[in-house]
Amino acid sequence: MAPRHAVRAAPLCAALLLAFALLATPASADDEAPLADPPVVGEPVPMAASIAALAPATARAEAKAQGAVLADKMREEVATAKAEAKAALDNADATWQSYLAAQQSQIAEAKASAGDGGELPKSLSVLAADGDAGARALARRKAVFLRNLRDINRRNAKSGDMLVFGVNNFTHLSAKEFKDIYLSSVFPPTAPEDSGRKLLQTKDTLQCNKKVNFPFGGVTPKAIDHRSLGTVTPAKNQGQCGSCAAFAAASAFESAFIAKWGATKGYTARNTDLSEQDLLSCTSGDGCEGAWPNVYVDRVACKGTLFEAAASYKASDSDRCPSVTREASGVKSWSYVPGNERSFAQALSHNPIAITVSGNELQSYRAGVYNCGGNQPMNHAITIVAYKTSVPMSNGEKWNIFPAKNSWGSGWGESGFVNFRANCGGTGSLKIYEYQAVLPIRG
């Protein structure tokens, strides 16, 4: 399991390359396989109490207190990271040498894993040439690295006290290289409209068609955090495959799985790891070239899921769908979530949600929260896991925030997580409201 959570080259993410990338999977060997309740793995683990269950006045007070603590924590992290980025620039040559040594260690690990004739991930191969050609390539990489380091510090000078950028595994790549390797360059065809926001995909592309209309409305929670409820697994790394939609979907239904089976069979965020490879192998089309999260959530609602140990991640697609007994996922159906703060927050009262986002601005993200805005193409998928309110800004504003889990490993961002401002109009922060989100519904 360790390699899935290790800090290594992050993914080629073309999650939204073409809407037809995943068509309905033909009847396959797994269609008739039965589902089974998962085995007991430990003592029952009751879910922690949620702030959403508190009386309104108490919930407001608790949300305000949590918001103040979060703001202080973010400011401290941002200030520390900005100082680190400034020191890195002041000692640029030493920073590059340290960075290169870390990347070469990843190259050695990747070569050992790939074996003879295996290919390195593209982000590492640009650092791996030998001889004179390698020396020239490294000189170019150093120039790109130093340019990015200067850009990081320029952005930090303008980002305020609640957002910071820093050095990570992408810093030796130009913005174009990052986009070409990790993000889609093709915007998907126009999708149907519903509730003022675009749908992700139509029902004829689904295996099971378990879509329902979730009853949005009623009371919006003051705050909820599925991490503190114990149902959010650590950030994983999708590697050299554009499978971010599979990871976003799996992250969402892993939380549903833990919430369903934790109290009776001992599943927690520490011992639950469901298979993304099973999703890629058992849906048609090339999931490494892009997909929509709802296709995967729909599949597990009727066909179940496998543990990582039963179908380990290969960072590649396959048409070999195993004919085995799958575990009941705890998901009975799913719903689209209209793209706005209120609907997202109400959906989060039930479970984390898979969303799409504009990933161009994420290359150098280190910590903090993105403000409203961003007009880059939609090209990535992640999972919103929490809703925080009443976070005080230095200018006197109160922000609401959506923390989200990415799939670029724990070395990116805040241990693999990122934050978006929630109380935005239009398409939101980095376009998180452009398309409807996907909510797995437990049952």
pLDDT tens readout for residues 323-374: 889 999 999 999 999 999 999 999 999 999 999 999 999 999 999 999 999 8
* pLDDT above 60 (res 204): no
Asked whether residue 246 carries a pLDDT value surpassing 80, the answer given is: yes
Q: C-alpha angle 70/52/409, rounded to 5°?
A: 50
Rounded mean pLDDT, 56-68:
82
Mean pLDDT in residue range 233-252: 90
Instruction: Give the pair of three-digit tokens for residue 376.
Output: 């880059």
**Which pLDDT score, from 0 to 100, does residue 5 have?**
47
Mean pLDDT of 40-44: 82
What does the pLDDT read at residue 131? 79
Nearest Cα residue to 283 out of 17, 30, 16 = 30
* R_g of the chain computed on alpha carbons: 21
pLDDT score for 182: 77
pTM of the model: 0.88
pLDDT top residue among 195 and 147: 147
230 neighbors 259 (Cβ within 8 angstroms): no
pLDDT tier for residue 2 given thresholds of 50, 70 and 90 = very low
* Integer CA distances (angstroms), 249 to 63, 106, 119, 148, 256, in order: 28, 28, 28, 32, 11
Q: Judge whether residue 1 has pLDDT over 50.
A: no
- Cα separation, 369 vs 228, in Å, equals 19
Q: How far is CA 330 from the centre of its chain?
A: 21
**115 — pLDDT class (breaks 50, 70, 90):** confident
Q: What are the chain's domains?
A: 12-73+183-442 (3.90.70.10), 77-180 (no CATH)
Q: How far is CA 425 from CA 40, 309, 402, 430, in A?
A: 45, 43, 14, 12
